[in-house]
Amino acid sequence: MAINTGVNETGSSSLFLPEVATLIDKREMTDVDSFFTFKLKNRPLGHRYGQFVELSIPGIGEAPFSISSPPTDDHTFEMVIRKVGQVTAAIHSLSPGDVVGIRGPFGTSFPMEDLKGSSLLFVTGGIGLVPARSAILYALNNRGAYKDITILFGCRDPGQRLFTDELAAWSTREDITFMETVDKCEDGTWDGHVGVITTLFPNLKAIDPTDTYAIIVGPPVMYKFVIMSLHDMEISDKRIIVSLERNMKCGVGKCGHCQINNLYVCQDGPVFYYDDIKLLKEAI
């Protein structure tokens, strides 16, 4: 089974010319993360689950951001953007109605169609929930197409939790398993599980390793430990799907910043079957 690949259509003659998108909605999620809804002016974005766009504000700069929503009927697309630098600070200062530049969508996607009929185990950490959410929402919207759905989410502390309304709704659904954890909580505001995400694994009910696909998205440090836990559960590398973070500066496979050996994460990834990259020494 292969991850969807192919040359990305940018819809313009220059690889670097953005299209105009309008900010539709914006709300704060944490001290540093805000949720944004955008819509392209002239066409639906046409993205798949787990892809990313290059978003720019002229004079400030351009940066890659994961799309957090599955394709929608109203052609809007959602992102959660963490304020860490100049570009993201400028995006945080936007108001609904403001316009930004968008290039993309770029990259490979979670093969949600191919996974139908199997069980899904999402293992998400921190802001990794953002791209994973596009696949999670698709799976939940098409609940009947999958067997068991398990979602694990971990973050540094309770203040870092994203999509809290949705997490609450997932935790009460009876047709899925949802568990979350925080690495630490020192102010007593959390009465849930505490520990890194792999400490949730012993609490999982039995998973059929021959019929489950694991989807992992999280900070770089998380992958190795999660994959070791999945190996303990006898899930094979062919059933482990990862989305990797790199500095995807140009998005079109030229600038070199996102290279892992001969792969360009912006084009060959960010979504990979672990089996395809496990021998690349710098991947995980």
Partner 1 sequence: MDNVTISKKDFLDFVEKKIQEGDSKVIGVVGKGSSYVFDRLESSSRLCLDYDVTILPPKKYFQPPREVLLRFITKKADSYITENANEPLTIIGIHYYDLAAISLMDRAFSEGNRDENYLKKRENSLLIGMYPTQAFKYRFAGSVVKGVQPYKAADLMLADMGDGNYTVEIVTEKGRAYLSSAVQKPFTYSLEELENAKKRIKDDQKIPVPIEMSPDFLVKNHGHPVWEVFGEKCYSCGSCVLVCPTCYCFDVLDEVDLDLKNGKRIRVWDGCMLENFATCAGGHNFRKTKAARFRHRIFRKGVNLPLKYNYYGCVGCGRCAHACTSSIAGPVKVLTYIQDNQ
Q: Which residues bind partner 1 (CB under 8 A)?
A: 7-8, 10, 12-18, 20-21, 41, 56-63, 82, 84-85, 88, 99-101, 219-220, 245-247, 249-250, 252-257, 259, 261-262, 267, 281-282
Which residue, 70 or 253, is less far from partner 1 as judged by CB? Answer: 253
Element (H, E) at 22: strand 19-28
Which residue, 19 or 170, is less far from partner 1 as judged by CB? Answer: 19
Q: How far is the CB of 102 from partner 1 (least distance, A)?
A: 8
Which residue, 207 or 244, is less far from partner 1 as judged by CB? Answer: 244
**CB neighbours (10 Å) of residue 243?**
28
Q: DSSP state, 173?
A: -
Q: How far is the CB of 115 from partner 1 (least distance, A)?
A: 27
* Angle in degrees, CA 134, 125, 51, rounded to 5: 30
Which residue, 70 or 251, is less far from partner 1 as judged by CB? Answer: 251
Cα–Cα dist 205/59, whole Å: 52
On the question of a cis peptide bond just before residue 270, with omega within 30 degrees of 0, the verdict is yes
Which residue, 210 or 247, is less far from partner 1 as judged by CB? Answer: 247
Beta carbons of 249 and 257 less than 8 angstroms apart: yes
Which residue, 124 or 150, is less far from partner 1 as judged by CB? Answer: 124
Cα–Cα dist 127/215, whole Å: 15
DSSP string, 39-103: EESSS-----TT-EEEEEETTTEEEEEE--S---TT-EEEEEEE--SHHHHHHHT--TT-EEEEE
Q: Which amino acid is at 69?
A: S
Which residue, 63 or 179, is less far from partner 1 as judged by CB? Answer: 63
Q: How far is the CB of 56 from partner 1 (least distance, A)?
A: 7
What is the dihedral sign for C-alpha 252, 250, 219, 83?
negative
Q: How far is the CB of 121 from partner 1 (least distance, A)?
A: 25
**CB neighbours (10 Å) of residue 216?**
25
Q: How far is the CB of 8 from partner 1 (least distance, A)?
A: 7
Q: How far is the CB of 82 from partner 1 (least distance, A)?
A: 7
Q: Which amino acid is at 261?
A: N
Q: How far is the CB of 241 from partner 1 (least distance, A)?
A: 20
Which residue, 15 or 168, is less far from partner 1 as judged by CB? Answer: 15
Q: How far is the CB of 168 from partner 1 (least distance, A)?
A: 27
Phi, psi at 29, each rounded to 5°: -115, -45
